[in-house]
Amino acid sequence: MKPLILVDENIPEAELYFGPLGRVQRFAGRNLSARDIGDAKALIVRSVTKVDASLLSASQVEFVGTCTIGTDHVDQQWLVSQGLGFSSAPGCNANSVVEYVIAALAYAEVDWQNLSFGIIGCGNVGGSVYRALSSLGADVMAYDPLIDQQAFPNMGSLSQVLTRDVICIHAPLTRVGEFPTHHVIAEAELMQLKPGALLISAGRGAVVDNEALLTVKKLRPDVKLVLDVWAHEPWVCPALLAQVIIGTPHIAGYSWDGKVTGTRMIAEALAHFWGGTVPSEAELGAAVSNQLMPLPMSSDAWQQVREAILQSYNIAGDDQRLRAMVAKAQGKEEIERGFDVLRRHYPERREFRFSQPIVKPADPAAIRCLETLGFSFL
């Protein structure tokens, strides 16, 4: 009999990619307990499942995979001590987060050519955001004391980065070490932001002190917030949600393409661990592309770019669904359940490379911008 593979219900195409390796059984990620593991030999999770001794010590699990970039939900030290295999999916959804940031800027009518950007955390995701903004002609500075300071042309201190017009936070959540990131952005740091600054948090919620955000917003109403992550997920503080221009339920990296990439990366890692291989996408018949999307264009060059972005990725819809859920919820537990429902039933979102404007802009700069973002033209 094939080995049992437990797979989070929010991981797409699991049957397609893990099916050749074993029997796939789905589970609700946030509710998984030790008694649910059964005779599973592999456990495939996302960030909502805490994987440690209390979950797996009595199990037969040999391999743990997380279809995410972040790994703070996995006790890797314990896995190593038990001789268990482990793999994450670094970079799988980095482009999805880049496009979330770009869509947030378009929604906020931020012209990246005329503003300065600061990136806090410049690993797989933050580095991709850095490169994308730089390729668009933006002035970008990064802060990340844990990477080679020569890795990017313009590295600075945290204080220097906080003086920028737009701050993008993509640091992983750590609580120990020389540079822990838990509440690395607190009240003192938020008060350093320049007038009218925009802060985008799309990494881990507790990197930013959410209580401090509420305090500072009272003192600094000029500061604008975009939050995809929240300190106490799946709880979303209604008072804080009311203060942001965009609020979403931890879905920045939830493009269909990014999630499927993560699925395949972990399936390949599991196959390698068990001494096998995953069939190619052609052999599997994997449906990883869709019909290009025609997009109407306006006459103004900047509006052409903005309209293409927002029609390709309707970030306003993500914001509206979260606000509607929180407004309707009766208490904390309903908000927490609603948060997970929004993630579980997230609409299929394709990346910009699958969008094709039907009218080519007259402005060469607009063409270059859209092509840099991945759009193509008839």
> What pLDDT is recorded for position 376?
86
Helix (H, G, I), strand (E, B) or coil at 27: strand
> Would you call 189 a catalytic residue per the annotation?
no
> What pLDDT is recorded for position 295?
62
Angstrom distance (rounded) from CA 91 to CA 69: 6
> What pLDDT is recorded for position 126?
96
> What pLDDT is recorded for position 304?
87
CB of 46 closer than 8 Å to CB of 68: yes
Q: Which of 183, 250, 321, 350 is catalytic?
A: 250
φ/ψ of 96, rounded to 5, equals -60, -40
CA 305 to the chain's CA centroid: 23
Angstrom distance (rounded) from CA 176 to CA 318: 33
> Would you call 233 a catalytic residue per the annotation?
yes
pTM: 0.90
CB of 130 closer than 8 Å to CB of 140: yes
The residue count for the chain: 378
> What pLDDT is recorded for position 293?
61
CB of 118 closer than 8 Å to CB of 144: no
> What pLDDT is recorded for position 303?
87
Q: Binding-site residues for NAD(+), please?
A: 144, 228, 253
Angle between helices 332-344 and 315-328 (to 10 degrees): 150
> What pLDDT is recorded for position 287?
53
> What pLDDT is recorded for position 205?
96
CB of 323 closer than 8 Å to CB of 226: no
Q: Which of 73, 170, 204, 350 is catalytic?
A: 204
Q: Which of 233, 321, 343, 350 is catalytic?
A: 233
> What pLDDT is recorded for position 139?
96
Token pair recorded at residue 46: 């996302």
**pLDDT tens track for 342-356:** 999 999 999 999 888
CB of 63 closer than 8 Å to CB of 271: no
Give the residue from 36, 41, 43, 40 showing the smallest Cα distance to 11.
43
Q: Which domains are present in the chain?
A: 4-88+256-284 (3.40.50.720), 94-252 (3.40.50.720), 293-313+350-373 (no CATH)
> What pLDDT is recorded for position 285?
63
> Would you call 204 a catalytic residue per the annotation?
yes
Q: Binding-site residues for substrate, please?
A: 47, 68, 254
Q: Enumerate residue ranges in the chain where pLDDT < 50.
A: 288, 290
**pLDDT tens track for 33-47:** 999 999 999 999 998
Phi-psi region of 169 (alpha: psi -120 to 50; beta: other; left: phi over 0): beta
Give the residue from 221, 232, 358, 228 showing the smallest Cα distance to 295.
358
Q: Binding-site residues, please?
A: 47, 68, 144, 228, 253-254
Angstrom distance (rounded) from CA 300 to CA 79: 55
